[in-house]
Structure formats: C-alpha cells, structure tokens
Structure 1
Amino acid sequence: MPPLKNTYLLMRHGHSLANEAGCIISHPDNGIHAYGLSNVGRAQLQQTLKDWLYPIPDRLLHSDFLRTTESAQCLAQHFNCPIEVNTLLRERCFGVYEQQSDQFYESVWAKDSAGLDVTAEGVESLERVAQRMHSVIEHCEATYADQTLVLVSHGDPLQILLTHLDGRALSEHRKRPSIAPAEITLIQ
C-alpha cells in the first residue's frame, strides 16, 4: 500500500448487548436497530476517552449497526467532530449462525484458518471483508488529506483489515491479538 495521506484510528465498538447475551448479531436486520452498547461498553468508551493518547480526530466514520453508531456518537460528542455512516464498515456476515451462540465464532475461525470456504453457510468470505474494508481507506485517501479519521467497526472486519494491511494471508487473521471492545489501533 502506498504511504497514507491520513492518520487512521481503527476502533472496535464498545461491549454490546449482543456480547452480553453471548449471541452473534451480524445481519443489518438485527444489528441496526437493536443490540446497542451495554453499560460495560459505555464505561469502556468513557475509559478510552479518559486515557486518550491519540491525535484528536477530525472525522468519524462508522458502521450503521447500533453498537458502532453509539460508540461513534460518544466520540463525536466528546471531540465535537463530524460523524458519518459507512455501511462498508459493517460486521462480517455470519450467515446461518446469525442469532446463535457466539461459540460458533470458533467454528468459523477454524475454517478460516484451514482455508475452507464458509460461503456455503452464508458466511461472508475473508476476501470480501478485506476488500470492502480496504475500499473505505481508499475512499478516505481520495477524499481527505492530513486528517485523523476514526473508523468505528467490529472485531472480525478490523482483524481482517489489519491482516490485509500487514500483507499476511487472510486465513491468519485470528493469529493477531484480538481487538478488545473500545480498543483503538493507530495506522499512519
């Protein structure tokens, strides 16, 4: 990837009601209007803001799921900066596992690591997730310059994007340390 014109802060949403319930919410029909932040998630965001060590954001882009929207709104209000929805930052679709136990993540990730095709189960491919996440950065690079942009998304898409940016095989995305709720990763 060529040198970036902008600074990117990749942020996973705070702990959500889906996390609290231990269920997979990856489809817009379920995630846009429900499963927002839990009380734990709200506290995590406040702690992230209290411990802020990053450049002050100029703009926030976020998935349209409620948990990412509420996370982004918290930051936008704190920093008094513009906020916009970008549906390409959505959660990875987990297909047949939607609204099932979050224990099914491990099954999908094992198949990812083995290079198996999970699309037959309706799970979004690693390549598709990497492509749409990377296209957000390409769009921002074409639109903005010398800006600090916060991209608020979900754990799996961010892991996959970081693996892609590292130039590693996407099947290795779970070899990266997991991104904690309300955690930020700086990319310059």
Structure 2
Amino acid sequence: MDEESSSFLRNEYWILRHGKSIPNERGIIVSSMENGTLPEFGLSIDGIKQAKLAGELLNQQVEGCKAMRENIRICYSPFSRTKHTAEVVAEVLNIPLEGPQCKAMVQLRERYFGPTVELQSHEKYSEIWTLDEMHPFGAFEGGESVADVVSRLSDALAAMEAEFQGCMILVVSHGDPLQILQTILSAATEQCQGQDQDQEGDYSGDNNSLDSRIKSITVPSVLSQHRMFALETGEVRRLI
C-alpha cells in the first residue's frame, strides 16, 4: 500500500501482533474477554523480547524527529498479552502507557472463536479458517465470523480517524483481527486507486466515507482471503 493511495485516511498506521504469549506456549486458544484479560495469560519471556525488538524497530523510524515522536499513538487490545506488548513498546519509545498517547480499545480485542474451542488446542484453528474460506459471514459454533470482526474494526478505525490527525498510530492486536484489518484496508486501497483512475476529484463525500468504503468491500470474495495477511508473534508492519 503506497502513500498516494491512502488519502482516504488521516493518519499513518502500523500494526503489531502481540509477542509470544503464555497461551501460545501452551498451545491453547484464549479468545474471550473473561479469560483474555487474566494476568496469567500475558507474554512469555520470549514474547517480552519480541515486543522490545518491535519497539526498537519503531524507535528507529522516529529517531531524531521530536515532532514525529510526539505524534505517536498506541491503540491496543485490552487483553493481557496485547496490553503487556503495548507496555513494553511504550517503554522503549519513552511514552507513558497511562498517558494521552496510549489508548486501550475494546474493538481491537481478539476474535472470539466460540465456547466450544475456548481453552482448547490451537489445532482447532484450522477448522475455523477452513470455514472462513467458504463462509466468512458464518460463525464457528457461537464465535465471531470474519464479518463480525470487520464491523468492530470499522468502528475502531472510525474512532481513531475522528480523534487523531496526522499521527503515526500503532495498533497492537491479535492474529486474526490484524489479518482481517489488513484485508479490508488492502481492498479499500485498491478501490481508491480504481476511483482515482476513473475520475478526478475529492472523495470526501458520503459515498466515499471510511464506513462506506469498508461496507462496499465487505463481501465473501474479499473476507475469505484474510489468511494471506498472517503475522508472526511480535511482527510489526506498516499498514498505511
């Protein structure tokens, strides 16, 4: 995604999947708010190291630019593993997690995979992702569908776009939400490029609002591809 194609957003976005967590080490699915916010499901020792490395990479991006550093915002899922990751990154960047530059957002939480797989083996993921490819609007046994996650991520983006302008925003979240976020913004960017080729003008009207853009690409052929954007634990990417 190049900078010219991102004119429909007011900020620069980076994404970071949380560092390796205790659930990752144990090979279990922890996706409910009730379990995900428990302190015992935070980062592992390796995960802390991954978060620190991610922070150092981001620090290189803003090194020597005071104005850019002041415009950093960290928006993170309230789960223990993501909050812990955000804490480590904020410390490296010399930003107080409890200050105005950091914000917990419940819309960035882990995808809830359903009661039948909660605290069960990671092997269940393959069944869920197979369903996603065939029916991204279908939920797996009481969990969230891909489309459900798109809806709340759209709300999160709208909130960040409304609150911040000209900022470098780091979104600290989980594997599936970040895959889905990349999927919808990639499709929205391609749509924007197509509009630019078809006509000239300002796309700030109702038909080209962020919400409208995302709704227009929230279709099975787009959402079923989210696994193409998988991240490793502790991986940081520039999004837009």
TM-score by length of 2: 0.73
Q: Which amino acid aligns with 2:179?
A: Q
Q: Which residue of 2 aligns with 1:124?
A: 144
What does 1:50-129 correspond to in 2, within 5 Å?
50-52=56-58, 53-55=60-62, 56=69, 58-81=72-95, 82-95=101-114, 96-115=116-135, 118-119=138-139, 121-129=141-149
> For 2:171 and 2:140, how far apart are their aligned partners in 1?
29
The SS at the match of 2:155 is helix
Deviations 1:132-186 (A, max 9, x none): 112211111111111111111000000011111122610111133x201111121
More displaced stretch, 134-143 vs 91-100: 134-143
One-letter identity of the residue aligned with 1:172: Q
Return 5+ residue gaps in structure 1 as ranges: none
Secondary structure at 2:237's aligned position in 1?
strand
Judged with a 3 Å threshold, the aligned counterparts in structure 2 of structure 1 residues 120 and 182 are, in CA distance, closer, same or farther, namely: closer
- Partner residue of 1:44? 50
CA gap of 1:36–1:99, structure 2 versus 1, over 3 A, is: same
Q: What's the CA shift for 1:47?
A: 2.2
Q: Is the 8 A contact 1:119 1:125 kept in 2?
A: yes
The residue that corresponds to 2:217 in the other structure is none
Percent identity reads 34
Question: 116-125 or 90-99, which moves further after superposition?
Answer: 116-125
Q: Equivalents in 2 of 1:103, 1:19: separation in Å?
A: 12
2:32: which partner in 1? 27
Matches within 5 A, 1:130-141: 130-141=150-161
| Alpha-carbon distance in 2 for matches of 1:80, 1:72 | 12
| Equivalent runs, 1:109-188 vs 2, <5 Å | 109-115=129-135, 118-119=138-139, 121-167=141-187, 169-176=222-229, 178-188=230-240
Q: Which has the larger radius of gyration?
A: 2
Q: 2:162 and 2:56 mapped to 1: Cα distance? A: 32
Change (3 A) 1:2 1:134: farther
> Aligned partner of 2:112: which letter?
C
Q: Which amino acid in the other structure matches residue 107 of structure 2?
A: L
- Distance in 1 between the 2:136 and 2:51 partners? 36
Q: How many residues align?
A: 187
- Counterparts of 2:179 and 2:56 in 1: how far apart (Å)? 25
TM-score by length of 1: 0.92
> Would the alpha carbon gap of residues 139 and 116 (structure 1) be closer, same or farther in structure 2, given more than 3 Å must change?
closer
Greater mean alpha carbon deviation, residues 153-162 or residues 42-51 = 42-51
Amino acid at match of 1:160: I
Q: 2:89 corresponds to which letter in structure 1? A: L
Q: Does 1:4 align with 2:18?
A: no
**Is the Cα contact below 8 Å between 1:108 and 1:118 reproduced in 2?**
no
Structure 2: runs of 5+ lacking an equivalent: 1-5, 63-68, 96-100, 188-220
CA RMSD, Structure 1 to Structure 2 (Å)? 1.8
Q: What is the alpha-carbon distance in structure 2 between the residues aligned to residue 187 and residue 21 of structure 1?
A: 30
What is the alpha-carbon distance in structure 2 between the residues aligned to residue 51 and residue 2 of structure 1? 25
